[in-house]
Copies of this chain bind each other. A is one copy, B any other.
Amino acid sequence: MSLTTGFIGLGAMGAAMARNLHRAGLLTTVWNRTAAKAQDLAAELGIQASTEPASLAAQCDCVVLCVSADADVLAVVDRLLPGLRAGTLVIDMSTVSRDTACLAAARIAAHGGQFLDAPVSGGVEGARQGTLSIMVGGDTRHLDRARAVLEAMGSRITHMGPVGAGQATKAVNQVMAAGINQAVCEALTFAGALELPLEKVIEVTGAGAAGNWFLQHRGPTMTRGQFAPGFKVALHHKDLCICQAMAKALDCTLPLADMTLADYRRLMDAGHGEADISALYLEKTERTP
């Protein structure tokens, strides 16, 4: 039996994911901190906009969260608990720390609910096309229940371990994404200094052993000076702070993530926090004569 699903957090990723739940016939209601966004989407899709997370929770078998930061997840969880029915499944698809996932899970379990952390990768393109890679932490029985909901949003759903393992995997993903951003921007800045035709460089390096998603999807725009998100510098900065804290606790060093945090800090100070992370190319090219 399909789960009636409510969606909380209608940002660039969340709105696209909610639309895919609607296409799959699962979405019944939405809530967003800025209420107008929820009302507009609800009117467009012919569904309900809830006035409170608790009232949304009260009428759903499944609640999906996609918000920005650790504090937001915990605040929204606290606001939905009063309406939570026994057995309701809460899926947090935000990118937050492993500790936050464990805290949220404990609060929901104490109210008789079920919890999965299920952050995603694949960019806004993946969110729109329903081809996200979803990394799941939590009980496999809860994942079995959640499968149709997750399959409406992603094409690869991978169970990583107990609660928090989804977020730990996402942290690894964000560290890798930071390093790849550095690799692509360093190489394309070098290509510019060599006065090579950048479009062809992107094509030819993309087809070989240095090929990667980021080069293919962001290379053509970054080298034309276009930095519409995509994935915002300020959000990746937030994610990398989480990664840095997790790594520190494990005595593990992340030199590329550290370098990227410093570069993003400079970009944010220069007013590029809302730009796509490929704006790192600006940082690199501006430091090259």
| Contact B288 A209, beta carbon cutoff 8 Å | no
A86 CB-CB contact with B under 8 Å: no
Q: A288 to B255, Cβ gap below 8 A?
A: no
Tell me if B194 and A172 are in contact (CB < 8 A).
yes
Question: Which B residues lie within 8 Å of A209 (CB)?
Answer: 121-123, 126, 173, 177, 213-214, 217, 231
B183 & A171 in contact (Cβ 8 Å cutoff): no
Q: Is A148 an interface residue (CB 8 A)?
A: no
Main secondary structure of the interface of A (DSSP, over half): helix
Docked pose: A254 CA to B192 CA in angstroms: 13
Question: Does A259 lie at the interface of the complex (its beta carbon under 8 Å from any beta carbon of B)?
Answer: yes
> Contacting chain B: which of A24-32, A64-72, A106-114, A156-164?
A156-164
Confirm or deny: A168 has a beta carbon within 8 angstroms of a beta carbon on chain B.
yes
Copy count, this protein chain = 2
A169 pairs with B196, CB closer than 8 A: yes
Interface residues of A in 173-193 (CB under 8 A from B): 173-180, 182-184, 186-191, 193
C-alpha gap A246/B156 in the complex (Å): 42
A217 to B247, CA, bound (A): 26
Least CB distance from A200 to B in Å reads 5
Contact A168 B196 (CB under 8 A): yes
Name A257's contact: one of B160, B186, B288 (CB within 8 Å): B186
Residues from chain B with a CB closer than 8 A to the CB of A212 are 180, 210-214
**Considering the chains assembled together, what is the distance between the CA atoms of A122 and B193 in angstroms?**
24
Nearest CB in chain B: distance from A258 CB, A? 10
User: In the complex, are the beta carbons of B253 and A207 less than 8 A apart?
Assistant: no
Point out the residues of chain B lying under 8 angstroms from A143, CB to CB: none
Check if A271 is an interface residue, CB within 8 A of chain B: no
A66 → chain B closest CB, angstroms: 15
A193 interface neighbour in B160, B184, B250, Cβ under 8 Å: B250
Across the interface, do A214 and B204 meet the contact criterion of CB distance under 8 Å? no
Docked CA distance A190–B250 (Å): 9
**A120 neighbours in B (Cβ, 8 Å):** 208
The 9 closest A-B pairs by CB, nearest first: A179-B183, A121-B208, A212-B212, A176-B187, A133-B207, A133-B208, A176-B210, A193-B252, A211-B213
- Chain A residues packing against B (C-beta within 8 Å): 120-123, 126, 132-133, 135, 155-156, 158-161, 165, 168-169, 171-180, 182-184, 186-191, 193-194, 196-197, 200-201, 203-205, 207-215, 217, 231, 243, 246-247, 250-257, 259, 287-289
